[in-house]
Structure 1
Amino acid sequence: MSYSNAQELLSAIQPASGGTEIFDPATGELVGRVAQNSVADLDAAVSAARTAQPAWDALGHEERNRLLNLAADRIEANAEALAELLSREQGKPLNGPNARFEIGGCAAWLRAATAYEVEPEVVVDDGETYAAKHYRALGVVGAIGPWNWPMMISIWQLAPSLRMGNTVVMKPSEYTPLSVLALGHVLNEVLPADVLQVVAGGREVGEKLSGHPEINKIMFTGSTPTGKAIIRSSADTVKRLTLELGGNDAGIVMEDADPKAIAEDLFWGAFINTGQTCAALKRLYVPESIYTQVCQALTEVAAKMPMGVGLDENNVLGPLQNKAQYNIVADLVQGAVDSGATVLLGANPDSEAAGYFYPTTLVADIDPQNDLVTKEQFGPALPIVKVKNVEEAITHANSLETGLGASVWGSDREQALAVAARIQAGTVWINSHGTIDPRIPFGGAKQSGYGLEFGLDGLKALAQPQLIKG
């Protein structure tokens, strides 16, 4: 069925009574209630998923693709109700690259998972030896998602898993369980029983999932420390892993860049989802020859972007999703201010305001070793570091243990490409930042994780390669 608004959708997923209350980070108002599942509930879900998996796999690629495209249709039919719930629970505005954008991405990535043929690959055929590589289903995939893009990242995990014949058990973030439960409910109107299950629960449920003997692969998006814990807990069963972990993405501006021309794209590279994005631009290195111009152009753009309650159609920036993240951003900015850095915009939150709103903040004249630069702020605060030249910028960009994404900004494409090749990151964008595409593989370097998502590589990562020779 189609739901006309978030409240109708909530009525389909909430427990009849009890449960944990979830509050709007913009207003503090009650959004809804979620039943807290136990480890026993998780065990039951995994068992059901394992029982359902052979029949799902036996349907074949064509029928699974048909069902996944029907599931994308269901998302589109319920897009406004899903976006409203997402805005209320996560805080992101409906407009801009936010809630409606995320729902659109869910449908697009779901369809993209069906767009590739996954055929056996002939490895050797020389007249004497023949060998082909086949891609078989793994079994049951455990997916653990974050609170910043709860619906879309869930799709990134479940869509390729299902396409390749696996079943999926998902554990959403404790901050945004309603959004993922609602998404799962809509998808399960089309999918066979037990193929996709969402188990909302606390840390103990996530820990059990990552070490569960009946789970064949874990997909996780979140912090590096949690990713390391998953690696340890999955070791005894030698699970396959795809980990998209923390990033502290660097942006390098070249001397030939046009500050006014790049300012808006710089802004959205840093402040998409109010800065709460793993692959957002989180530290910007600018040569001293154009430093003042870049700071001024970026400040002019940032000052015009309205922040407020997500259901207000005028807003494009929202609150931090939770108090803990608000405190991280506030502490890092205050540390930069205390060190003598210059605040170009923001950095003075209204302590009396409802919700976890931290103002759009630009910080200049900051030491490259300041914590606001070297630690991932994951919020609406961007440090702008002055450098002598591009060589110094590259050194700073590569100095941290993270390497999810990076960007190079300049007018000479060949020079920008040469700089990009020297940056230690899984993806480097030229004159944009964070512009992902379901056709283009995505994954981190260094301690930002391993494994690829998206495209044909992402599908193959959800399968067991099998070589047949003869």
Structure 2
Amino acid sequence: METYDALLASITPDSGETRTILDPATGTVVGQAPVHSIEDLEKAVAAAQAAQPAWAGLGHDARSAALLKAADAVERSAEELARLLSREQGKPLNGPNARFEVGACAAWLRAAATLPLEPETVVDDGETYAELHYRPIGVVGAIGPWNWPMMITIWQIAPALRMGNAVVVKPSEYTPLSVLALVHVLNQEVPEGLLTVVSGGPEVGARLAEHPAIGKIMFTGSTATGQAIIRSSADTVKRLTLELGGNDAGIVLPDADPAAIAEGLFWGSFINTGQTCAALKRLYVHDDIYDAVCDELTKVAAAMPMGVGLEESNVLGPLQNRQQFEVVARLVEAARGSGARVLLGGNPDADQAGFFYPATLVADINNNNPLVTEEQFGPALPIIRYSTVDEAVEMANGLDAGLGASVWSADVTEARKVAARLDAGTVWINKHGAVDPRVPFGGAKQSGYGLEFGVEGLKALGVPQVING
């Protein structure tokens, strides 16, 4: 186990161009990140190509054993990784934040290592015998976001390595240190050259997406960037898994208990200070309990401490960057200007250091308001009234996004009936955004395509091959 200072030193370049990374909570320097070039990317791809055949040849059992050791390595350095993540991304150590994220990295590594994937007999009728196998793709490109930089990188890396692939990782320019440190820890347990981080700008990501030696791209991020990846990957017919923007709806049915669901609603929306693709971003509440839900949710939100992530008492942190802060501020002010009622928040402290935007609840807002129709990706939740379930379903399905959704009710059977009518890749009942490494996860409509997690996620990192005869 390395100390925090040793871990940071291990990823600090001795030479070459660097970029200064600042803490979004305090503005202080976290560290120096390398600025890798196209030439660095080419070297990483060549090393991955060289390392991949031997790794694939080890077979599932040996690869799984290495991933389990990698999970142990993550746990040995868990506190150091969490501190770095908190300083770079801004999320607090406690709550469903930095320590939670590092713990999830170990959990997903173990799940990818231990999920069974046996050849499937598809026909055996005495005349025809056919088996379905999954072979490695080769080299996988993993392009990750800044909101959950470690965890989402593991979502990409773990199944790719389990299936016998090498991986070249391109982290967000906002949070490269977290990913560099995580991969440094993982590389203690996997062969040299198999797993590399290329910390460059947009041109590096574009080259990765079009590179002829990359067999698949896994990407989590905006729909616009996903569309660009689709276009740039077309000439080489790459396989793609795209987890794109979400604007998840939650529907509270009239039989729900406002006090009982308030905390679940809060964390479904405000986890990671709202900076989560599958967070609850627009809440539809029946007229009969609308005021009660607003009151109970306000009580919960008002009690949640926000501040610098390294302070143990905090559970909400800053927005990660100024651009996102300005998006949230613009949308809330537009809602206020339209006549919507701000129940809580909405007035950031101009004298406070860092990109802190207070937890904000906006009631009596029109469904066509930009705070509802645009993904805010921050701590501001619009709460929309509805009179009939048909009206709520129509509004929930009215946008191009379809990553997740949720239904809240005392009657689970009725909630499931409503869930079946929603256009989303995952619909949760009486919770929102809870992911599980055993359960497939992916988007509908313009929220992307392809599945992650579970056996289906493993299969997505392989090339299906039928052996017939």
TM-score range, shorter chain: over 0.9
Match of 1:356 in 2: 355
Aligned 1:437-452 pairs, distance under 5 A: 437-452=436-451
Q: CA RMSD in A?
A: 0.6
Q: CA deviation at 1:37?
A: 0.5
Give the conservation status (yes or no) of the 8 Å contact 1:71–1:187.
yes
Counterpart selection for 1:11 from 3, 9, 12:
9
Find the aligned partners of 2:118 and 2:298 in 1 and give their Cα distance.
51
Alignment TM-score, normalising by the size of structure 2: 0.99
Q: CA deviation at 1:8?
A: 2.1
| Residue type of the alignment partner of 1:8 | A
Could you say what secondary structure the match of 2:334 adopts? helix
Find the aligned partners of 2:385 and 2:149 in 1 and give their Cα distance.
35
Aligned 1:336-351 pairs, distance under 5 A: 336-351=335-350
Match of 2:34 in 1: 35
Tell me whether 1:101 sits opposite 2:85 in the alignment.
no
Unaligned runs of 5+ in 2: none
Aligned 1:10-409 pairs, distance under 5 A: 10-17=8-15, 19-409=18-408
Find the aligned partners of 1:349 and 1:106 in 2 and give their Cα distance.
33
Q: CA deviation at 1:68?
A: 0.4
Q: CA deviation at 1:182?
A: 0.2
| Residue type of the alignment partner of 1:197 | T
| Residue type of the alignment partner of 1:445 | A
Find the aligned partners of 2:182 and 2:115 in 1 and give their Cα distance.
24
Unaligned runs of 5+ in 1: none
Could you say what secondary structure the match of 2:30 adopts? strand
Find the aligned partners of 1:124 and 1:368 in 2 and give their Cα distance.
51
Q: CA deviation at 1:190?
A: 1.1
| Structure 1 residues 281-339: Cα deviation after superposition (integer angstroms, max 9, x where no partner) | 00000011110000000000000000000000000000000000000000000000000
Find the aligned partners of 2:350 and 2:60 in 1 and give their Cα distance.
54
Find the aligned partners of 1:389 and 1:20 in 2 and give their Cα distance.
53
Q: CA deviation at 1:4?
A: 2.5
| Residue type of the alignment partner of 2:410 | S
Q: CA deviation at 1:341?
A: 0.3
Find the aligned partners of 1:107 and 1:192 in 2 and give their Cα distance.
19
Find the aligned partners of 2:183 and 2:424 in 1 and give their Cα distance.
33
Tell me whether 1:410 sits opposite 2:409 in the alignment.
yes
Find the aligned partners of 1:123 and 1:294 in 2 and give their Cα distance.
51
Could you say what secondary structure the match of 1:136 adopts? strand
Find the aligned partners of 1:85 and 1:121 in 2 and give their Cα distance.
43
Find the aligned partners of 1:270 and 1:45 in 2 and give their Cα distance.
38
Find the aligned partners of 1:117 and 1:353 in 2 and give their Cα distance.
51
The percent of aligned pairs where both chains have the same amino acid is 68
After TM superposition, the runs of 4+ consecutive aligned structure 1 residues lying more than 6 A away are none
Find the aligned partners of 2:213 and 2:48 in 1 and give their Cα distance.
10
Find the aligned partners of 1:323 and 1:361 in 2 and give their Cα distance.
18
Provide the aligned length of Structure 1 versus Structure 2.
468
Give the conservation status (yes or no) of the 8 Å contact 1:4–1:80.
no
Find the aligned partners of 2:457 and 2:243 in 1 and give their Cα distance.
13
Q: CA deviation at 1:16?
A: 2.2
Find the aligned partners of 2:118 and 2:84 in 1 and give their Cα distance.
39
| Residue type of the alignment partner of 2:10 | A
